[in-house]
Amino acid sequence: MVCETTYIFQLFNELSAFAFGTRSGCRFLTVDAYADVVDFYESRCGFKFFTETDVNDDTRLMYFDLKPFKDAQEAAKQQA
Q: Answer whether residue 29 is part of any domain.
A: yes
C-alpha–C-alpha distance, residues 3 and 79, integer Å? 29
Q: Strand runs (DSSP E) across 11-77, as ranges?
A: 28-34, 48-49, 59-65
Q: Is residue 57 part of a domain?
A: yes
Tens digit of pLDDT for each residue in 4-46? 556 666 766 666 655 555 555 778 889 999 999 999 999 888 8
CB 72 within 8 A of CB 59: no
Q: Tell me whether residue 59 is in a domain.
A: yes
Nearest to 44 by CA among 26, 71, 59, 62: 62
Instruction: Give the separation between CA 63 and CA 66, rounded to whole angstroms.
Output: 10
- pLDDT band at residue 47 using 50, 70 and 90 as cut-offs: very high
Split into its structural domains, the chain has a count of 1
Whether 1 has a pLDDT exceeding 50, the answer reads: no
Does residue 49 sit within a domain? Answer: yes
Assign 70 a pLDDT band (cuts: 50, 70, 90): confident
Instruction: Note the Cα 38 to chain centre separation in Å.
Output: 14
Per-residue model confidence (pLDDT) at position 61 = 97
> Which residue range forms the structural domain that includes residue 19?
5-75
Q: Is residue 80 part of a domain?
A: no
